[in-house]
Chains A and B, each alone.
Chain A
Amino acid sequence: MFTVSLYVITGILLLISFSRDRSKTKTAMLKAWRSFEGILPQLLSIFIIIGLMLAVLSPAAITSLIGTESGWLGMLIASVIGSITLIPGFVAFPLAAALLSAGAGFKQIAVFVSTLMMVGVITLPLEIKYFGWKAAAVRNLLAYGFSFVVAIVIGWILT
């Protein structure tokens, strides 16, 4: 649904752009392609790594790792899995809900969800390409630490 509206908006903007300036629109499309092709090698590598990782760390495996452990150790395990895996939201949230019913605590789930979104070890090479290694490393480390803050607040309010 959201993807459809994204296409509609992009289509309309492209038409407006085209009616106002053909050559500029052509340049825009060329740039779109070039910047896509520019990161394609990294993207393809990321997809293979995602495949390998999730084939080993299946939802069932993640559940057994996070679902049983509690306390700080559970949070630590959850944060490491969240940082190294890259799961789209529409898979991650049902998984998180399943973890919750499997007996994992809110804190563990929250740190998992938060690191999953904010910390990207697999995408680090891509991030470094645009931000340099220092900014990328600092942002990811801060996001990792912050995920525990989020988890503690959520655990405190929801339990």
Chain B
Amino acid sequence: MIEQVRRYRFFLILLLINLAILYLHPEIGWQSLRITGDTLLEMLAVLPPIFLLLGLLDVWVDREAMMKLMGENSGWLGISLAFLLGSAAAGPLYAAFPIAGVLIRKGAKLANVLIFIGAWSTTKIPMLLFEASAMGWKFMVVRFAVDIPGIALIAYATEKVLSQRERQDICEQAKSELQ
């Protein structure tokens, strides 16, 4: 019980702040709670399948297969898979982090996982269609064309900046999750 309160303490503090605002500025407080509620509902709609897929991925895809597909020596195959997986995604970016954790745990190359994160954040296919209808095809296509190399560049640069030790720590952290 105390452990649960400790884990949720930051959330509880924020909730109190929101309630204080509700008292001091009812309009902003209500608006805020309404937006929080909407986001929560939206999350509840999309997160269950994402996490179930994460579980299935963890159980059925073994380490050897993942290393071959997205590991250190997976080359273009790994890069393409990372882009495809990320682009086929639905849901907000924060849902991508736990999946990234599983990919790392299974032996995917860090740069590939970062490409997956980048693709999830910017080149999601359903989002692109929506973007084209709101902003026009030209805007979407140009952004997409610039983003693809950019995502890869950011991923490789981030991996390069990390020391061997730091990369190991990330793997260890991923392994300690979900045990």
Interface size on A, as a range, is: 35 or more
Which residue of A has the minimal Cβ distance to B59? A28
Contact partners of B59 in chain A: CB under 8 A: 17, 24-25, 27-28, 31
Question: From residue B106, how far is it (CB to closest CB) to chain A in Å?
Answer: 13
Partner of A3, one of B36, B45, B117: B45
Q: In this assembly, does A90 line the interface, its C-beta being within 8 Å of a C-beta of chain B?
A: yes
CA A150 – CA B15 in complex, angstroms? 37
Q: How many residues of B contact A (CB 8 A)?
A: 81
Residues B107-136 near A (CB distance < 8 A): 110, 114, 117-118, 121-122, 124, 126-127, 130-131, 133-135
Whether A138 and B94, one on each chain, are in contact in the complex, defined by CB atoms closer than 8 angstroms, is no
**From B150, which residue of chain A is reached at the shortest CB distance?**
A146
Asked if B158 contacts A47 (CB within 8 A), the reply is no
B134/A48 in contact, CB under 8 A: no
Contact status A39-B143, CB under 8 Å: no
Q: Are B122 and A117 touching (Cβ within 8 A)?
A: yes
Roughly how many angstroms separate A42 CA and B31 CA in the complex, as a whole number? 21
Count of A-B residue pairs with CB < 8 Å: 224
- Asked whether A51 is an interface residue with its Cβ less than 8 Å from the other chain, the reply is yes
A 43-84 contacts with B by CB, 8 A: 43-52, 54-56, 58
**Closest CB-CB distance, A115 to chain B, in whole Å?**
11
**Interface of chain A: mostly helix, strand, loop or mixed:** helix
Instruction: Report the separation of the CA atoms of residues A41 and B92 in the bound assembly, to the nearest whole angstrom.
Output: 16
Contact A28 B56 (CB under 8 A): yes
A93 to B134, CA, bound (A): 6
Q: Are B56 and A118 in contact (CB under 8 A)?
A: no
Bound: A142/B158 CA distance, A: 8
Q: Chain A residues near B58 (CB, 8 Å)?
A: 28, 31
Decide: B143 and A154 in contact? CB cutoff 8 A: yes
For A56, give the chain B residue with the smallest CB separation. B28
B53 is an interface residue with CB less than 8 A from chain A: yes
CB neighbours (8 Å) of A33 from chain B are 51
With the chains together, A126 CA to B159 CA distance in Å?
19
B143 touches A50 (CB 8 A): no
Q: Which of A35, A43, A123, A146 contacts B55 (CB 8 A)?
A: A35
Q: Which residues of A approach B to under 8 Å, CB–CB?
A: 2-3, 6-7, 9-10, 13-14, 17, 24-25, 27-36, 38-39, 41-52, 54-56, 58, 86, 88-90, 93-94, 96-97, 100, 106, 109-110, 113-114, 117-118, 120, 123, 126-127, 129-132, 134-135, 138-139, 142-143, 146, 149-150, 153-154, 157-158
Q: A36-B98, A93-B131, A127-B97 are in contact. List 12 more A-B contacts (CB 8 A).
A: A35-B54, A39-B97, A44-B8, A51-B34, A52-B21, A100-B135, A110-B139, A117-B93, A130-B101, A142-B158, A146-B154, A158-B138
